Amino acid sequence: MHDEIKNKYSLPWRFKKAWIKALKSGDYIQGTGALKRSIDINNSEIAYCCLGVACAVAGVPEDEIDGEFIDDWRIRYESVPDVLQGVAEDNELAKVLSNMNDNCSNDEDRHRFSFTDIADWIDHNIKATR
């Protein structure tokens, strides 16, 4: 499905550049099932979905995305580009990106699409606008 939406959407170029940089930075641990959530008992390891990283880049307060499942959470911050707004289940681009992020192989620790893979896909398939 991700091939069907190539070049269909656009993001503000500054946001796109910052999001790609954040995804490739190694500063975020990739997780599944939620925008952001703790992955250890002490809450010292935090994992993000690629859309959780987008929210972090946009300056959405951390407590607003913590533990939120992307299909249930309505993105409602002006700092998040319109193309990512709304409930992911109803948003084609958000749905594709969350599926890319969460579509794991049989090895639970290995994602089919890493953050780098997703960043490269965004770079090559989502237009940038000024």
Burial readout 63-79 (b: 16 or more C-beta within 10 A, e: otherwise): eebeebebeebebeeee
Does residue 122 have a pLDDT over 90? yes
- Angle, vertex CA 116, rays to CA 58 and CA 65, nearest 5: 35
Percent of the chain with pLDDT over 90: 32
Tens-digit pLDDT profile for residues 69-120: 655 555 566 667 767 766 666 778 888 888 889 885 555 555 579 999 999 9
> In this structure, what token pair is assigned to residue 66?
């913590």
* Predicted local distance difference test score (pLDDT) of residue 109: 54
Start-end of H helices in 1-130 = 13-24, 50-58, 62-65, 92-102, 115-125
* Predicted local distance difference test score (pLDDT) of residue 87: 61
3-state secondary structure 47-59: EECHHHHHHHHHC
* Predicted local distance difference test score (pLDDT) of residue 110: 56
Percent of the chain with pLDDT over 70: 75
- Residue 93 exposure: Cα atoms within 13 Å on the Cβ side: 19
Mean confidence (pLDDT) of the chain: 81
Does residue 41 have a pLDDT over 80? no
Residue given tokens 């290995």 in the structure block: 110
* Predicted local distance difference test score (pLDDT) of residue 96: 86
Report if pTM > 0.85. no
Residue given tokens 């299909």 in the structure block: 71
Average pLDDT over residues 29-55: 86
Q: Counting runs of H as helices and runs of E as strands, what totals does the chain give? A: 5, 7
